[in-house]
Chains A and B, each alone.
Chain A
């Protein structure tokens, strides 16, 4: 009896795996065409020839003309988006600026932007020093600007901030000859530390070299766009 069992096993065992595969494969094979069409885009591989009949396009010439005119209109609209006044682009990663009028570059140079630092006050307040990104406009232009030092300027130097209108708060030298305010206390201004231009060292404002600042001040009007990225 035992020998009969063994011989039966020897006889049929090699068929077990092929039979299992044989049952499993047709299931997948049957599923494959739909699978390939729906999920794998195999159909697109086989439908290489395009013609109007196969996809049924009418008035092809008319559509080409219409599309061309639409493209021209859209290009015009996109061109109209360019500011009609000079504007400035500030690159905070490379600390460079580009002064432009429409598509023409008027001047390029180095600047200094935010140092991406968070200062923790003794009372635990966190003050980030970062140049904001986005679109701003020149809101105010000032010659020989006076900087009203905020609290952080004192705290950073290990000093106690004085009262709101104390004389120590007013600094006539730090901002250079010109300042262009872009809102929220941020400005484009000069610097005493020209050697740091090109490095991220500021508390959020954009510092510029003297010569560049003068050109920018004279070129950008109030309302001019300032793109910071």
Chain B
């Protein structure tokens, strides 16, 4: 009888522990999408994450920050690092938050300024003011008002310093998948004579485009999804759903793999913006093959 109680107590306990482990390491990160991408952190920062004492003292970062300060004074604009750490210091939480916000603004402006020296169109995604702007040479070409923004919890949970490092430099697109083509070319054979030319002449009309859902995977482990605000149905909806589900499938695969390897690849933080269909098409087609993006958040 006693053995029976012991058996069920142990079994329940072990199941609870198993449930906790699975929930905290596999299920929650997938549901909340909260892991910090390793690529977002510079090596010193990763060390700091693993070693709380080192982080408190800020030993590793002080030299690096001094270098960064020197670099920032040069004409070529480089990323300025986080505030100078030192053994002792003063300042309230409000002051620090203010400083972080200022540093963030400064870094984003630097990134934007650096991009303006390039010869291609880039995207400035301002999640604070909910505007996606196409820019070139510092000139705003097109503003798209974002109707809805969804940001992964993983990004919301970034430590301020990690966030600064993560967004300080422009994101470069690795690859993109979309329900529309980038250049909708129509191939036409030249007519043999004028009669055939007159026959084939069709009055032009505004082209109908399919519903828009664009998945853009950027370097530093960021996924940006641009979706149209108009409701889609039928075949279009199926295509969009299959693209949408591919993200969840990939993350579940990573989690399953983690059960055997005990090491889960970092979840890809995701930002979803909803814009009018016309704007989504403009954003996708105006950007070059490997565009850069400044993320303001």
Contact = CB atoms under 8 A, between A and B. Distances in A.
17 contacts: A14-B7, A40-B35, A51-B93, A55-B83, A55-B96, A60-B91, A64-B99, A94-B278, A94-B282, A118-B185, A120-B189, A122-B190, A134-B136, A159-B194, A200-B204, A229-B136, A229-B141
B197 A60 contact: no
B83 A50 contact: no
Given A55-B96, A229-B141, 9 more contacts: A36-B25, A41-B162, A58-B84, A61-B95, A91-B282, A93-B285, A133-B286, A133-B288, A225-B139
A215 interface: no
Interface string B140-165: 01100000000000100111111000
Contacts of B106: 67, 70-71, 74
A87 B34 CA distance: 45
B92 A93 contact: no
A91 B84 contact: no
A78 B109 contact: yes
Given A52-B91, A67-B102, A134-B136, A37 B49 contact: yes
A134 to B, nearest CB: 7
B233 interface: no
A81 B84 contact: no
B167 to A, nearest CB: 15
A206 to B, nearest CB: 15
Interface residues of A, number: 81
Interface stretch (B14-22, B170-178, B223-231, B234-242): B14-22
B58 A28 contact: no
A27 interface: yes
Interface residues of B, number: 97
B187 A39 contact: no
A75 B112 CA distance: 10
A43 interface: yes
B57 A56 contact: yes
Interface in B263-297: 263-264, 266, 278, 281-282, 285-286, 288
Contact of A77 (B46, B113, B161, B262): B113
A47 B138 contact: no
B128 to A, nearest CB: 15
A155 interface: yes
Contacts of B188: 117-120
Most buried by B among A64, A117, A156: A64
Interface in B8-38: 10-11, 14-15, 17-18, 21, 24-25, 29, 34-36, 38
A121 interface: yes
Contacts of A29: 17, 21
Closest 6 A/B residue pairs (Cβ): A41-B36, A81-B138, A52-B91, A56-B85, A158-B197, A60-B91
Contacts of B263: 35
A78 B11 contact: no
A125 to B, nearest CB: 9
B137 interface: yes
B286 A57 contact: no
Contacts of B2: none
B187 to A, nearest CB: 5
Given A56-B89, A63-B99, A133-B286, A229 B142 contact: yes
